[in-house]
Chain A
Amino acid sequence: MTQRNILCRRLGSVALLVTLLATSCPRHVRAQAPTPGLDLFAGLSVNFRDVYYFRQYDFLINLTPGFRWTMGHDWQLTGQVYVPLVNQYENYGNGFKVNNFALSKELRWGTLYAKASAGLFSMNRYGLDLKLFLPLADWFALEAQGGYVGWLYTDTYWRITKPDRFLGTVGGDIYLSKWNTQLRGVAGLYLYRDFGAEAEAMRHFNHTTVSVYGRWSDTYGYDAGFKVIVMLPPYHRTRRVVNFRPASNFRLAYTVMTELSGNRIYKTDPEENERDGWFSRHFLLWGSHTMCPDFVINQKTTEE
């Protein structure tokens, strides 16, 4: 058999596979790349703690308006401020706080996916961040994150320090599509210069993900807990140039221990969550992105 025949067979097989995939997937499963536009959204950040003997709970509730400018070619500019509504935390300022203002670009080299971000991230950090994701199979992928950041406080007063720390984690993900279950393990150097490791098991449901996790930090010890991520309706949306909507998700994280400094890392996207992962759905079709999408963009019908 000549090389040309082999090549033709392979190309034919690939074309057939692509055709089958394109025609067999329900329309709503296929990734829908967002058209360029501006999203204005708002949600709530609800925090509560139980650390005092005579007071059961302290609450910290922030309004979290933000924007996402999808610029096309996988560029995004995001921003978000925290507006305190209820503040019973003594060590938390009462001013407006810029939680995110970052420029991001998603890249792909072969099967290696990357997301580079620069700007102000959560946890009062600014700097550069790079995320890498390498799917080796439908069920297994490697991931890494690295950052070089400084401190930028934007509350009742502003203060900034020079970038002074590198941090980074590496790990792997296993996705069991039959059960929509994801196992994730990472280890590395975290934000407060502690070395640690964490493992998480996620079960993805319709519009909701529940996970349990355990983690260890050489400085802050063991911790465990659970997380609940709920994607917020409306699930059918119409895409325009400017879109007003609620925040994409509500995320609840519970920790057994009261020490909150171990295994911490910032978020570079104001709507980043464990269900969606780091990348856009249309960009990386792996893991929970192979499930039916949470948000379906209504297609415009062509008028006769």
Chain B
Amino acid sequence: MRRHLVLLLLAAAALMPLSGSAQQYTGLSGLLHVPSAEMNHEGDAFMGIHFLNKAMTPDTGFLLAGQKYDTYDYYISLTPFPWIEFSYMCTKRKSAESEQLWDYHRKDRSASLKIRPIKEGRYHPAIAIGTNDFGTGIFKKNRTDVQLYFFNYYIAATKHLNFGGNELGLTLAYRHFFRGYNAKWNGLVGGVTFRPAFFPQARAIVEYTGNEFQVGLDALLWRHLRLQASLKDFKYPNFGLCFQLNLLGRKYTY
């Protein structure tokens, strides 16, 4: 079954005019759950929604009767300059009063920021630093009164290799989550991306999140609709779509 799902995702990517480069559930560029040093194009604005399997959420804060539940987030993001991206994301939460399947009363707000001080060169990788869910709470003296469920910071390096028009992307990052219940995703993480020459809009991704492997595909349809689907630990599906627009009026195929 697991193998069938992977094959299905790969087949879907081969059939669709795809493109993409996103840690899409946050609205920023990256891999799937792992950040990278890739950046979106200057002027790119994203507005999207992403289904998050319970395996993608923290082990605290997304519990109902002691059980984790699937949820979703929505976000907007912008790349004002080629070296900086930021996004604003809301992740839906249930409360003890939630009775229906879709009864999400609450939401967790978070902001993400990524800066790339070193652009990728011929021989050296791009270097980026960033953070997710950095709220005003990180400046508070009593940090236990704020949520910061997704708060982490990282440094990432990404290098792309081209051969015959195909593009291979290598990413290595060090990431640290603030909360102890996310410690399983701490440490060295990384992944490999592949963009085929015959269809450069498509991208296949394999990554190690620090705790498990995750495979996925992302894509851009008609220059504006970005899709991403992945399997965490080869069995937990996550997927999302977003509307993408370049505010400088530039047209990119991926």
- Any A CB within 8 A of the CB of B249: yes
Q: Which of B78, B106, B249 contacts A210 (CB 8 A)?
A: B78
Contacts of A181 on B, CB cut-off 8 Å? 80
A256 vs B134: C-alpha distance in the bound complex, in angstroms?
A: 13
Q: Which residues of chain B (67-116) have a CB below 8 Å from chain A?
A: 78, 80-81, 86, 88, 95, 97, 104-107, 109
Contacts of A207 on B, CB cut-off 8 Å? 247
Interface residues on A, range: 10 to 19
0/1 string, B139-170, CB within 8 A of A gives 1:
00000000000000000000000000000000
Query: Contacts A56-B105, A56-B107 known; A203 to B248 CB distance under 8 Å?
Result: no
Determine whether the beta carbon of B107 is less than 8 Å from that of A206: no
Contacts of B80 on A, CB cut-off 8 Å? 181, 203, 210
Contacts of B210 on A, CB cut-off 8 Å? none
A203 vs B45: C-alpha distance in the bound complex, in angstroms?
A: 13
Determine whether the beta carbon of B97 is less than 8 Å from that of A205: no
- Any A CB within 8 A of the CB of B196: no
A105 vs B14: C-alpha distance in the bound complex, in angstroms?
A: 62
A53 vs B247: C-alpha distance in the bound complex, in angstroms?
A: 36
Query: Contacts A206-B247, A208-B247, A254-B88 known; A179 to B81 CB distance under 8 Å?
Result: yes
Q: Which residues of chain B (192-211) have a CB below 8 Å from chain A?
A: none
Determine whether the beta carbon of B247 is less than 8 Å from that of A205: yes
Query: Contacts A226-B88, A256-B136 known; A54 to B105 CB distance under 8 Å?
Result: yes
0/1 string, A186-203, CB within 8 A of B gives 1:
000000000000000001
- Any A CB within 8 A of the CB of B58: no
Determine whether the beta carbon of B248 is less than 8 Å from that of A206: yes
Determine whether the beta carbon of B97 is less than 8 Å from that of A54: yes
A53 vs B97: C-alpha distance in the bound complex, in angstroms?
A: 10
Between A and B, how many residue pairs show CB distances below 8 Å?
35
A208 vs B76: C-alpha distance in the bound complex, in angstroms?
A: 15
Contacts of B109 on A, CB cut-off 8 Å? 256
A181 vs B43: C-alpha distance in the bound complex, in angstroms?
A: 13
A205 vs B88: C-alpha distance in the bound complex, in angstroms?
A: 19
- Any B CB within 8 A of the CB of A50: yes
A53 vs B106: C-alpha distance in the bound complex, in angstroms?
A: 7
Q: Which residue of chain B lies nearest to A257 when distances are taken between CB atoms in the complex?
A: B136
A181 vs B95: C-alpha distance in the bound complex, in angstroms?
A: 42
Contacts of A54 on B, CB cut-off 8 Å? 97, 105
Q: Which residues of chain A (224-243) have a CB below 8 Å from chain B?
A: 224, 226
Determine whether the beta carbon of B43 is less than 8 Å from that of A205: yes
| Nearest chain B CB to A243 CB, angstrom units | 26
Contacts of A55 on B, CB cut-off 8 Å? 105
Q: Which residues of chain A (145-203) have a CB below 8 Å from chain B?
A: 179, 181, 203
A107 vs B68: C-alpha distance in the bound complex, in angstroms?
A: 63
A210 vs B81: C-alpha distance in the bound complex, in angstroms?
A: 12
Determine whether the beta carbon of B104 is less than 8 Å from that of A56: yes
A226 vs B77: C-alpha distance in the bound complex, in angstroms?
A: 11
0/1 string, B156-188, CB within 8 A of A gives 1:
000000000000000000000000000000000
Determine whether the beta carbon of B248 is less than 8 Å from that of A205: yes
| Nearest chain A CB to B83 CB, angstrom units | 11
0/1 string, A40-69, CB within 8 A of B gives 1:
000000000010011110000000000000
A55 vs B103: C-alpha distance in the bound complex, in angstroms?
A: 10
Contacts of B81 on A, CB cut-off 8 Å? 179, 203
| Nearest chain B CB to A183 CB, angstrom units | 13
Contacts of A210 on B, CB cut-off 8 Å? 45, 78, 80, 247
Determine whether the beta carbon of B249 is less than 8 Å from that of A206: yes
14 contacts between A and B (CB under 8 A): A53-B95, A56-B104, A56-B107, A203-B80, A203-B81, A205-B43, A206-B247, A206-B248, A206-B249, A208-B45, A210-B78, A224-B136, A256-B109, A256-B136
Report the 5 A-B pairs with minimum CB-CB distance, sorted nearest first: A205-B247, A203-B80, A208-B247, A206-B249, A210-B78
